[in-house]
A and B are shown apart, each in its own frame.
Chain A
Amino acid sequence: MTQMINLPLLPILIPLLSAVLLMFFPKRIKAQRVISMIGIAGTIIAAIVLAAEVKANGIQTVNLGSWPAPYGIPLVSDMLSVLLVLTSSILTFFVVWYAMIYMDESYERFFFYIGVMFLLTGINGAFTTGDIFNLFVFFEVFLIASYLLIVLGGKSGQLRESIKYLLINVISSALFVTAVAYLYSVVGTLNMADISQRIDELGSPGIITVIAIFFLIVFGLKGAIFPLYFWLPGSYSAPPIPILALFGALLTKVGVYSILRTYTLFFYQDQGYTHQILGVLALLSIVVGVIGAIAYRDVKTIIIYNIVIAVGVILYGVSAMTPAALEGAVFYLLHDMVIKAALFLLVGIMMAIAGASHLNKMGGMIRDYPRIGWTYLVAAFALAGIPPLSGFIGKLLIVQGGFEAGDMVGPIIILLSSLLVLYSAMKIFMNGFWGTPKEYHGAKAHLANRLWVPAAGLVLIAIAYGVGSEAVYPFIQMAVEPLIDPAIYIEAVLKE
């Protein structure tokens, strides 16, 4: 068989095509379910084949429209982007499975699956593109899909929060375009490899640092770092659980990925200023996230604040810029996507049983739902980073990298935060699953055991990821190579 040159495209094209097909019959729920599941499964298969190809033959690129590299739009699949694409596709699979059981028909008839497929298109595209403006376009693709998903259902809380969400994202998108315009006026190109090369040639004039901070603000708004996270707790508590799981697991991580990409590919010359700011903001995000996570007794809000903590931990790893810290950041990024989705799904089951999201309304669930209780406990341990589970290696490497970079404060804050993360997750377990059972009136309580299956599937993946980290490690190492040495990335794209 001749080599399939469009392979990096397939994880974008398959969900796009299925989204378009789904638009022809939005009211036929069965067909919607079947086609979207087939579409996601196809995306996963394509991502696996692509990962094998990248592992065997290095970075894969395809120049769309056959225009050579700096002139056309390239799609670049290095190991980092492939792993992220694979993780998001797998997550979407389980979340959509969960949604098929959980969602009311009124959601499914109004473009829910179409929204999810466009969301996946945009996210996979953002992870794969090698062009900064194309990155913006893919950001808009998944953001517009997320506007649909956040407001779907039209409850008053959703309407209020979606206005805030929309406003924040429109502003940050406008800033994104402005930042790209500044960058374009300085370097005169939009191709990411070419930008990196030109910035290198320019040395580091002050304007590049300004643009670096500009990008940090833009992606920080998308990825919810301190002090730009303020929109997240409100907006994320509005949509129903499966949509929240998609948002919590995927959307902020695209912002994190973009910071990771731009700060390792573009703005690596003058690290003293930019990376220090990034490090400080990351640590402050951890602190703020921890405060939120221990302050609240609403299960959804607790997990939402844990997103902010994880973003902080990953970005601290990026700011340290040592190989160990970057490996840790990538390890933790993948882990966090899976475990956040799993936790949201599990918390969603608790809310479905209790009919409320406040811990005061829960208690003693383990008597009637032992499987859900123990699955949640494993997920909570994985979140905090208890050794055999998935959160451990990533945090270990980040802490190690932080110490290597000569920072004493950061790693200690991260270690302390783990303790408090564990406390916040255990608070849900102790109050929700232990204690005296209460009367529950959840309208969806009878679905609990069916909902458990996809959630447990995700937890199983998280366990396998932690236990099999030895097997995953070569992939992570390969993902980090172009981050440490941008020349690898540039050479693969520009083929010089």
Chain B
Amino acid sequence: MKKQPNDLILQTVTTVISFIIFLFSIHLFFAGHYTPGGGFIGGLMTAAALVLLLLAYDIKTLNTILPFDYRLMTAAGLLIAVLTGAGALLFNEPFLTHAYDYFELPLLGETSLHTAVLFDIGVYLTVIGVTMTIIQTIGESE
């Protein structure tokens, strides 16, 4: 059964909504340290935005807009997470010992930067990578 592509309303709404979802996921990701949120739910939300794009368009279109290899994204996420933990080894501290400090950043002013965020970025990328790999693999198989 071939669906005729007459999803004008869906596609128009999707272009707006997916950006809002994406921004919300970024917000959830950065909120994680002090309020509910974090890498896992942030990653799932981002994947949800991508899935909405998949629903409104198709796999090929999504791959043209966002040409990511999600398997590599999973690997990169894991690598970032492991290396963040292993960074402590360089200072002869126990694995996963985190460090934080306050920095003067050009636009943001004084900001607290914590290495736990790097670990969270790893989680974030892995969650997106795994979710999208699963969905794409199932979607592509006949």
- Interface pair A65/B86, CB less than 8 Å apart: no
- Interface pair B74/A23, CB less than 8 Å apart: yes
- Interface pair B78/A62, CB less than 8 Å apart: no
Contacting residues, chain B, for A64 (C-beta < 8 A):
94-96
Contact of B95 among A13, A21, A23, A26 (CB under 8 A): A13
Contact of B94 among A23, A26, A62 (CB under 8 A): A62
Point out which of A6, A13, A26, A63 has the most chain B C-beta atoms below 10 A from its C-beta. A6
B89 at interface (Cβ–Cβ under 8 A)? Answer: yes
Task: Give B66-112 interface residues, CB cut-off 8 Å to A.
Answer: 71-72, 74-75, 78-79, 82, 86, 88-89, 92-98
A273 at interface (Cβ–Cβ under 8 A)? Answer: no
Contact of A23 among B71, B86, B98 (CB under 8 A): B71
Known: A2-B92, A23-B71, A23-B74. A65 touches B97 (CB 8 A): yes
A372 at interface (Cβ–Cβ under 8 A)? Answer: no
- Interface pair A24/B94, CB less than 8 Å apart: no
Nearest CB in chain A: distance from B96 CB, A: 4
- Interface pair A5/B92, CB less than 8 Å apart: yes
Contacting residues, chain A, for B96 (C-beta < 8 A):
64-65
Contacting residues, chain B, for A13 (C-beta < 8 A):
82, 86, 95
A26-B72 Cα distance, complex, nearest whole Å? 10
- Interface pair B75/A6, CB less than 8 Å apart: no
A66-B75 Cα distance, complex, nearest whole Å? 27
A13-B95 Cα distance, complex, nearest whole Å? 10
- Interface pair B95/A62, CB less than 8 Å apart: yes
Known: A6-B89, A20-B78. A66 touches B71 (CB 8 A): no
Task: Give A368-408 interface residues, CB cut-off 8 Å to B.
Answer: none
Nearest CB in chain B: distance from A24 CB, A: 5
Known: A13-B86, A65-B98. A23 touches B78 (CB 8 A): yes
Known: A23-B74, A23-B75. A17 touches B98 (CB 8 A): no
Contacting residues, chain B, for A9 (C-beta < 8 A):
95
| In the complex, residue of chain A having the shortest beta-carbon distance to the beta carbon of B78 | A20
Task: Give A52-80 interface residues, CB cut-off 8 Å to B.
Answer: 62-66
Contacting residues, chain B, for A2 (C-beta < 8 A):
92
- Interface pair A63/B82, CB less than 8 Å apart: no
A460-B92 Cα distance, complex, nearest whole Å? 38
What 0/1 readout, one digit per residue, does chain B (45-79) give for beta carbons within 8 Å of chain A? 00000000000000000000000000110110011
What 0/1 readout, one digit per residue, does chain A (1-19) give for beta carbons within 8 Å of chain B? 0101110010001001100
Contact of B75 among A4, A16, A20 (CB under 8 A): A20
Contacting residues, chain A, for B82 (C-beta < 8 A):
13, 16-17, 20
Point out which of B86, B94, B97, B98 has the most chain A C-beta atoms below 10 A from its C-beta. B94
- Interface pair A66/B78, CB less than 8 Å apart: no
A62-B88 Cα distance, complex, nearest whole Å? 13
- Interface pair A24/B95, CB less than 8 Å apart: no
| In the complex, residue of chain B having the shortest beta-carbon distance to the beta carbon of A62 | B94
Contact of A63 among B92, B94, B98 (CB under 8 A): B94
- Interface pair B94/A65, CB less than 8 Å apart: yes
Contacting residues, chain A, for B95 (C-beta < 8 A):
6, 9, 13, 62, 64-65
Contacting residues, chain A, for B79 (C-beta < 8 A):
20-21
Nearest CB in chain A: distance from B116 CB, A: 10
Contacting residues, chain B, for A21 (C-beta < 8 A):
79
What 0/1 readout, one digit per residue, does chain A (104-118) give for beta carbons within 8 Å of chain B? 000000000000000
| In the complex, residue of chain A having the shortest beta-carbon distance to the beta carbon of B89 | A6
Contacting residues, chain B, for A5 (C-beta < 8 A):
92-94
A9-B97 Cα distance, complex, nearest whole Å? 13
| In the complex, residue of chain A having the shortest beta-carbon distance to the beta carbon of B96 | A65
Task: Give A201-233 interface residues, CB cut-off 8 Å to B.
Answer: none
- Interface pair A17/B94, CB less than 8 Å apart: no
| In the complex, residue of chain B having the shortest beta-carbon distance to the beta carbon of A61 | B94
Contacting residues, chain B, for A66 (C-beta < 8 A):
93-94, 97
Known: A13-B86, A23-B71, A24-B72. A6 touches B78 (CB 8 A): no
A21-B75 Cα distance, complex, nearest whole Å? 7
Contacting residues, chain B, for A65 (C-beta < 8 A):
94-98
Contacting residues, chain A, for B75 (C-beta < 8 A):
20, 23-24
A63-B72 Cα distance, complex, nearest whole Å? 31
Contacting residues, chain A, for B89 (C-beta < 8 A):
6
Nearest CB in chain A: distance from B23 CB, A: 30
A5-B68 Cα distance, complex, nearest whole Å? 39
Nearest CB in chain B: distance from A101 CB, A: 27
A64-B88 Cα distance, complex, nearest whole Å? 10
Contacting residues, chain A, for B72 (C-beta < 8 A):
23-24
| In the complex, residue of chain B having the shortest beta-carbon distance to the beta carbon of A73 | B96
In the A-B complex, the 8 residue pairs with the smallest Cβ-Cβ separation, listed nearest first, are A23-B75, A65-B96, A66-B97, A20-B78, A64-B96, A9-B95, A20-B79, A62-B94
Other than A62-B94, A65-B94, give 14 A-B pairs with Cβ distance below 8 A: A4-B92, A5-B92, A13-B82, A16-B82, A20-B75, A23-B72, A23-B74, A23-B75, A24-B72, A63-B94, A65-B95, A65-B98, A66-B93, A66-B97
Q: What are 25 sample pairs from A and B whose C-beta atoms fall under 8 A apart?
A: A4-B92, A5-B93, A6-B89, A6-B94, A9-B95, A13-B82, A13-B86, A13-B95, A16-B82, A20-B75, A20-B82, A21-B79, A23-B75, A23-B78, A24-B72, A24-B75, A26-B71, A62-B94, A63-B94, A64-B94, A64-B95, A65-B94, A65-B95, A65-B98, A66-B94
Contact surface of B with A, Cβ cutoff 8 Å: 71-72, 74-75, 78-79, 82, 86, 88-89, 92-98
